[in-house]
Structure 1
C-alpha cells in the first residue's frame, strides 16, 4: 500500500509539473525578470503604466532600478546591471556609445514629448518685440534643437552650411527681430519663465514641471534621431524578452492606452 501511495504521489507531481510547463505563460516558463533602469522624466512612467501590464500578461516580471540621471542608467545598461531603459533618443544613444565605447542599441521608437516654445511674459508671437529675450536650454543637443525650432518657424535664419545637430548662436545668419537668447540649464527654465518673453522647454522638462502642452506656441518637428527609443545592451537585442518588449510597444493595447491618456496631445509617435 505504501509503495502504491508513493507511486500515485509521484505520478500526480509529474502531471502537475507537465501541466505547468505546458500552460504557463512564456515569461514564467523561463522565470524571466526584466529590470528597467529608470531616470527622472515621463518616459519611464509611461512604460511602467502602459507597457509593463502587457508584458506581465505574457508572464514576464518587470522590476525597476532607479537612477538619478540617464548617464548612470546607461552605464548600468552597458554593464548589464539592468536590461532596459526608455529615457533616451537615438542621438543621445549614439553619442553615449561613442563617448563611452559602449554597446547599447535601440529596439523600437516609443512615444515622445516634443520640445516647444512656451509663453513667458508674452503668449503670442504677434506680440514679439525687437530685442525680446528667449530662454534656451544650454546643453548642446537641446540647444541645437531649440535653434532649429526658431529657424523652422522663420524667427531666425541658420547658415546653410551649419551642422543641424550642433547648432549654436554662431550659426545664426539672420535675426530680424534682434532676439536675445539666454542659454541656461533646462531644468531651471520653468522657474524663470516670467523673466523672458518666451522659453523653450524640452518635453521631459515641461512634463516634470507640469507645464500644459496646450500652452505650447511652437512645437518641434521631431526628426528620427530625436524620437525616444526603448534601449538594451546590444548583446540582448535578439533575446525573447527584448522581442516581447518591442511587440508590446507596438501593440494595439498600448496604442489604446496612449490614446486614452493623451487628451492634451503631449505625446507624439513616429507613425
Structure 2
C-alpha cells in the first residue's frame, strides 16, 4: 500500500512539475501576439499627420497594433517626447536636422525609414517662367538657416548665383554667394509668410508644407530642389531600432500599399530613395 502510494505521489509530482516548468517557460517567451501593443506616433500637422492616419495606421492595425496619433506644430517637442518615451516613433524631420538636434540635446535617436516629403520649390510670382528672370528680379526665400541654405542651392542649380566652394553645404548663407550676374534681389522672410509674398516678388522659394497649406499644388513649382538629403524620416529611439514594432513600421513604409497611397495623395513630393531601387 505504502509502495503504491509513493509511486502515485512520484507520478503526480512529476506531472505537476512538468506543467509548472512548461507554464514558466511560456510566460518568459512572449508570443508574437503579445508583442503587439498600443503604440503612439507623433507627426507634424498636415501631410505627415495624414500619412499616419490614412497610410500607416490601417496597415499597422492589420498587424495587431492600436495606433494613437499625436499632432505637433513645432519641431522641438516631437524629439523630446520620443526620447522621454511618450512616443514610439515620430515623423517630421530630415536627417541633417535630426543629427544636429540629437547632438545638441544628447539624445539617442535613430532614423529608420524615409517618408514622402514635400520639397522646397521655386514658385512663380510676378514672373511666370524661369526664362523671364531678368536684372534685379526680386526673389523671396526662407530666412532660417537650414531652409535658406536649401533655397540658395536651388538658385545655384539654376545658374542664377554661384556659391563658394568652401561653404558648408548645409549652412550656405547669402555671404557665401560669390557671383550674382543678374544682381538678383534676395528677400529673406519667415517661411510661413512666403506664399502670401508671391504677389509682391518675382519668384519665391517655398517649403512644401507651407505651399500645400496655402492651397498650392507642388506640381506647379517652376523647379524643385534636386537633393534627396532633405527627404524626411520615421525616427525611433536607438534602443528600439531593432524592436518588432520598428521592423513592422519599416515594412509598412516600404509596402506596395503605401506606395499606391502616396502616388495618389502626394503628387509632386519627393519619395524615399529606397522606392527608386
2:268 is aligned, of 261, 265, 269, to 265
2:157 is aligned, of 139, 152, 169, to 152
The CA deviation string for residues 159-197 of structure 1, in whole angstroms up to 9 with x for no partner, is 111111110011111101100111111011111211110
Distance apart, 1:267 and its partner CA: 4.3
1:188 match: 193
Work out whether residues 40 and 69 of structure 1, in 8 Å CA contact, stay in contact via their aligned partners in 2.
Answer: no
Matches within 5 A, 1:128-147: 128-147=133-152
1:246 match: 250
Aligned length: 244
Work out whether residues 44 and 85 of structure 1, in 8 Å CA contact, stay in contact via their aligned partners in 2.
Answer: no
**1:81 aligned counterpart, secondary structure:** coil
Work out whether residues 110 and 236 of structure 2, in 8 Å CA contact, stay in contact via their aligned partners in 1.
Answer: yes
**2:219 aligned counterpart, secondary structure:** helix
Query: Which whole-Å CA distance do the structure 2 matches of 1:159 and 1:148 have between them?
Result: 11
1:17 match: none
Work out whether residues 123 and 221 of structure 2, in 8 Å CA contact, stay in contact via their aligned partners in 1.
Answer: yes
Distance apart, 1:31 and its partner CA: 4.7
Work out whether residues 118 and 218 of structure 2, in 8 Å CA contact, stay in contact via their aligned partners in 1.
Answer: no
2:24 match: none
Could you list the structure 1 runs, at least 4 aligned residues long, displaced by more than 4 angstroms after superposition.
Answer: none
Distance apart, 1:207 and its partner CA: 1.9
Work out whether residues 127 and 133 of structure 2, in 8 Å CA contact, stay in contact via their aligned partners in 1.
Answer: yes
Work out whether residues 159 and 173 of structure 1, in 8 Å CA contact, stay in contact via their aligned partners in 2.
Answer: yes
Query: Which whole-Å CA distance do the structure 2 matches of 1:200 and 1:182 have between them?
Result: 10
The CA deviation string for residues 221-268 of structure 1, in whole angstroms up to 9 with x for no partner, is 1233x1111011111111101110001001111112222334x43343
Between Structure 1 and Structure 2, whose CA radius of gyration is higher?
A: 2
Work out whether residues 110 and 235 of structure 2, in 8 Å CA contact, stay in contact via their aligned partners in 1.
Answer: yes
The CA deviation string for residues 89-128 of structure 1, in whole angstroms up to 9 with x for no partner, is 1011001101111111101111111111001111112222
1:232 match: 236
Query: Which whole-Å CA distance do the structure 2 matches of 1:248 and 1:126 have between them?
Result: 42
Work out whether residues 103 and 234 of structure 1, in 8 Å CA contact, stay in contact via their aligned partners in 2.
Answer: yes
2:167 match: 162
Work out whether residues 143 and 168 of structure 1, in 8 Å CA contact, stay in contact via their aligned partners in 2.
Answer: yes
Work out whether residues 208 and 218 of structure 2, in 8 Å CA contact, stay in contact via their aligned partners in 1.
Answer: no
5+ long unaligned stretches in structure 1 = 1-24
Query: Which whole-Å CA distance do the structure 1 matches of 2:183 and 2:46 have between them?
Result: 34
Distance apart, 1:218 and its partner CA: 1.1
What TM-score do you get using the length of structure 1 for normalisation? 0.86
Distance apart, 1:149 and its partner CA: 0.7
Work out whether residues 114 and 222 of structure 1, in 8 Å CA contact, stay in contact via their aligned partners in 2.
Answer: no
5+ long unaligned stretches in structure 2 = 1-30
Query: Which whole-Å CA distance do the structure 1 matches of 2:72 and 2:48 have between them?
Result: 13
Matches within 5 A, 1:49-128: 49-128=54-133
What TM-score do you get using the length of structure 2 for normalisation? 0.84
Work out whether residues 39 and 66 of structure 2, in 8 Å CA contact, stay in contact via their aligned partners in 1.
Answer: yes
